[in-house]
Structure 1
Amino acid sequence: MSQQGDRPATTDDWWGRLYDESARDTGPAGTPDDTIDDRFDSAADTLGGGDDLPSTRTYGHAVDAIAVDDDEDDAGDDEDEGVGPASRPPAWWESPGGRPVTRTPAPAPESEPAPAPAPEPSVPTPAPVAPAPLTPRPRAPWEPPPAAFDPTDPAADPTPPPAPPPAAPRDPRAADPRPPAPVPPPPPPAPAPAARISHVGDSPPTYEPEPTALPAADAEELDQLVADTVLDGARYGTYTLRAASLRGDSARYRGEPRRDALLTARFGAGPGALVLVAVATGARATEGAHLSAADACRWIGGAVGRSHSRLAEDIRAGRRGDLKSGLHRLTDRTYGKLRARAAELGRDPEEYTASLRCLLLSADPDCRTRVFFGVGGGGLFRLRDGAWQDLEPLVPEPSAIRGAPVVGYGSVPTGAGAATEQTPDGDRLTMDLEITKAPGPLVEEPVPPPPEPFRFRASVARPGDTLVLTSVGLAEPLRGVPALGDELAARWADGEPPGLATYLADVALRAKGYADDRTAVGVWEA
């Protein structure tokens, strides 16, 4: 209710008088009416900070409820004095990117129509300003590396590289200028390896091929035991040596010792070295046959070793006569020791004896002379151009054996050949073989000849030859079973020496009806 007692003013009338354009902005009220401006001025005077407090100004029929400082207040005064908004720069809230100013239109009173709003002055829209390019800052060590594409990186190009244009389709009817690649022919199929047989003949041998029983042993005579199989090999000069000795099927089945003995030895060194291979076989069905064979190899080896320098020189010089007479004396001396050993054991000389066959090979690469000598049965063969040749020397009849007594039994050489073998110091071969010339015991009866005549042969090897020296156990099937010789010739036809294991398997190739021990020495010529 007003102070004059008039009727209370309605809400619409109060708001209409407050925001009437004809009303004054500030100043003392001309009427006793209480207005908001009056109250604001009163509160500002009471607090004493009217200059610092925000003020409320009226722009036309709209109100900007914005707190301004002194500069803004001065700008408002200029606007009241007629300076339009077009004459000043736009404020931050008037910028296109700034915060829009909220204007609330005043409602017109019910009793009278709302006046038409005054046209606002047109404010020119400023031209858009392009933002300044951002300068990338260096990445700190703790920051992760940028992604594959960083929009803030001026060097980053989000556009993928253009794809290469597709190749033009090729006309299948056009001829290819390049010649077709040659297709290599398929390799020829490898020949199937031939199956290695373990025996020849129509039926297998009677006994098993592997050992079944060991010989009996004596605790006090263990040095008399012999192994079931001996295998050895070497290479000197132009030849390769292979040697093997094994028990026969019969001895393996009965548990008897191997009667064959094998000795391989080298005396000296360098080109003057001499290689000896000795093969001996004890008498069949006699006690200690393996011991007599071992004694024969050991004694002939000792005699050759003591005279190896002169023997090697004679072989390289090709002195066939000197070699034959000298080796004959060495062989007889060995058999003389065997008879002496039989006398010590109280046994008959024919029981404690052995057949002996030897090879002498020079280590000189320029020497291809191969010397064979011995007494007793066995075989000497040569494989040349795929065919076997039996080189066993012919043995004369016992009645045709003539000649002077053998040097070493107390006699001296006589006859026409004595001058060539005699030297001022005595017989050359006798001296070199350490056989003294002192007269022996008086012999009233002639010395019994050895059970077998002496055999000797010297031959010159050719490249590709294979010389084979065997005991009786392999010589007999080679002569009696042609299939055995054919099989071995096929295995050794290429001229390459087999390995030790392969050579042992070749020597062990069996034939029905031949079950004795087997010993074979092979010499492959390069």
Structure 2
Amino acid sequence: MEQVQEVSAAETAEAVPGIPEPLVIGRTPRLLSRPGPLPSVRRPDTEIDGCALPGLEVRAASVRGDAHRYYGTPRQDAMGLWHDGDRRLVACVADGLGSKEFSHVGASAACEVAHTSLPDFLVCDEPVTGARRLIENVAGTIGGRADSLRVAPGELSTTFLAAVVEEVPERSVHRAVIMRVGDCTAWRLHGGVWVSCFQDDEPEAAVASSATAALPRDVAEVEVAHADLYPGDMLLLCTDGVARPMSAPQVSTQLSDWWRAGPPSLPEFFWQMSFRARTHDDDRTAVCIWRV
């Protein structure tokens, strides 16, 4: 008779690999990477999403920063992924201004409704005109949320970036039209090298500024860029919680090393997005779109 060897629960637990702590890049941060008090405003600590589309693979995450965790304040970043059912992906990120009490509402509202303005964008032959229409509609929604809260629209101030990516599986290149108000940004990862989609947004030259354009006020400040995605390329849309750490070559190189290999699993992507770097403890949001 074959003998069955019993394995204790402790031995089983030891055999299962655990998830390592987030990678520390550079100097060790002062704050611990763990939740603190519950915020009075209930928002999830983290959002994670992803999808597979013809010729595209997407990973997205919005992670509350260590400073917000420590002080028990809500995540002010937001993100959104939408598909129109007709070869178009809409992806967006938003970063509520830290000085505004209801900025998380503005960021969430912007990402919730961006896709509803896609028809207004598509009817315009000129991308800048279409982008302005989309941004104006998003700003109008933020203003409406402010009215419902009975606060000034500026209390919901948020930066915002959206990309409309055309899926054309029969062609080698997919084109993205990217629009923004504020300091959210976009880069294309090509051959392991970061290429800015907006002028003067190179990772090595990123400069932190205390003043930035924001919705719903600065609808006239919309900027438009384009990115052509070839097989093996990746488009990164992100808030400044990712962009500012990338000004350090150690961080930009590590992200390139991770993402040039192709899309990770959803749990692995969350772990990668949780990297730690001293003085960089803000909310962190990124949508990564691989051309596969």
**TM bracket, shorter-chain basis:** 0.7 to 0.9
Shift of 1:229: 0.7
> What is the rounded CA distance, in whole Å, between the counterparts of 2:239 and 2:188 in structure 1?
15
| 3-state secondary structure, aligned to 1:215 | coil
- 1:48-197 pair list within 5 angstroms: none
Identify the residue that residue 273 of structure 1 maps to in structure 2.
Answer: 87
> What is the rounded CA distance, in whole Å, between the counterparts of 1:347 and 1:393 in structure 2?
35
The residue identity in structure 1 corresponding to 2:115 is G
Identify the residue that residue 405 of structure 1 maps to in structure 2.
Answer: none
Tell me if 1:360 matches 2:168.
no
Tell me if 1:247 matches 2:67.
no
5+ residue gaps, structure 2? 1-19, 202-215
Identify the residue that residue 204 of structure 2 maps to in structure 1.
Answer: none
User: What fraction of aligned residue pairs are identical, expressed as a percent?
Assistant: 29
| 3-state secondary structure, aligned to 2:154 | coil
2:251 to 480, 484, 504: 484
Distance change (3 Å), C-alpha of 1:390 and 1:458? closer
| 3-state secondary structure, aligned to 2:99 | coil
Identify the residue that residue 13 of structure 2 maps to in structure 1.
Answer: none
1:472 to 208, 218, 240: 240
5+ residue gaps, structure 1? 1-194, 218-224, 396-447
> What is the rounded CA distance, in whole Å, between the counterparts of 2:155 and 2:22 in structure 1?
38
**8 A contact 1:244–1:521 mirrored in 2:** yes
Shift of 1:213: 2.5
| 3-state secondary structure, aligned to 1:487 | helix
The residue identity in structure 2 corresponding to 1:386 is G
**What TM-score comes out, normalization by structure 2 length?**
0.80
Tell me if 1:263 matches 2:80.
yes
Tell me if 1:198 matches 2:4.
no
Taking only aligned residues, the RMSD between alpha carbons, in angstroms, comes to 2.5
Identify the residue that residue 39 of structure 2 maps to in structure 1.
Answer: 215
| 3-state secondary structure, aligned to 2:155 | coil
Identify the residue that residue 146 of structure 2 maps to in structure 1.
Answer: 342
Higher helix share: 2
Distance change (3 Å), C-alpha of 1:213 and 1:456? same
Distance change (3 Å), C-alpha of 1:488 and 1:452? farther
> What is the rounded CA distance, in whole Å, between the counterparts of 2:62 and 2:238 in structure 1?
10
Distance change (3 Å), C-alpha of 1:492 and 1:499? same
Shift of 1:449: 6.8
The residue identity in structure 2 corresponding to 1:282 is G
**8 A contact 1:369–1:461 mirrored in 2:** yes
The residue identity in structure 2 corresponding to 1:509 is F
Distance change (3 Å), C-alpha of 1:196 and 1:211? closer
Question: Post-superposition, which runs of at least 4 consecutive aligned residues in structure 1 deviate over 6 A?
Answer: none
Q: Higher relative contact order by CA 8 Å / sep ≥ 6: 1 or 2?
A: 2
**8 A contact 2:89–2:167 mirrored in 1:** yes
Kindly provide the CA deviation profile for residues 64-101 of structure 1, in whole angstroms up to 9, marking residues without a partner as x.
xxxxxxxxxxxxxxxxxxxxxxxxxxxxxxxxxxxxxx
**8 A contact 1:465–1:525 mirrored in 2:** yes
> What is the rounded CA distance, in whole Å, between the counterparts of 2:164 and 2:87 in structure 1?
11
**8 A contact 2:132–2:219 mirrored in 1:** no
Identify the residue that residue 521 of structure 1 maps to in structure 2.
Answer: 287
**8 A contact 1:376–1:452 mirrored in 2:** no
The residue identity in structure 2 corresponding to 1:469 is L
> What is the rounded CA distance, in whole Å, between the counterparts of 1:301 and 1:486 in structure 2?
32
> What is the rounded CA distance, in whole Å, between the counterparts of 2:226 and 2:257 in structure 1?
27
1:351 to 155, 170, 174: 155
Higher strand share: 2
The residue identity in structure 1 corresponding to 2:238 is T
Distance change (3 Å), C-alpha of 1:233 and 1:351? same
Shift of 1:197: 6.5
1:386 to 176, 187, 192: 192
**8 A contact 2:163–2:179 mirrored in 1:** yes
The residue identity in structure 2 corresponding to 1:478 is M
**What TM-score comes out, normalization by structure 1 length?**
0.46
| 3-state secondary structure, aligned to 1:510 | coil
Shift of 1:210: 2.2
**8 A contact 2:175–2:229 mirrored in 1:** yes
The residue identity in structure 1 corresponding to 2:111 is C
> What is the rounded CA distance, in whole Å, between the counterparts of 2:263 and 2:116 in structure 1?
29
> What is the rounded CA distance, in whole Å, between the counterparts of 2:87 and 2:188 in structure 1?
24
**8 A contact 1:246–1:519 mirrored in 2:** yes
> What is the rounded CA distance, in whole Å, between the counterparts of 1:381 and 1:228 in structure 2?
26
Distance change (3 Å), C-alpha of 1:196 and 1:290? closer
Kindly provide the CA deviation profile for residues 401-426 of structure 1, in whole angstroms up to 9, marking residues without a partner as x.
xxxxxxxxxxxxxxxxxxxxxxxxxx
The residue identity in structure 1 corresponding to 2:160 is L
Distance change (3 Å), C-alpha of 1:500 and 1:344? closer
Shift of 1:394: 5.9
> What is the rounded CA distance, in whole Å, between the counterparts of 2:268 and 2:100 in structure 1?
33
> What is the rounded CA distance, in whole Å, between the counterparts of 1:296 and 1:340 in structure 2?
11
Tell me if 1:238 matches 2:6.
no
The residue identity in structure 2 corresponding to 1:466 is M
Shift of 1:292: 1.2
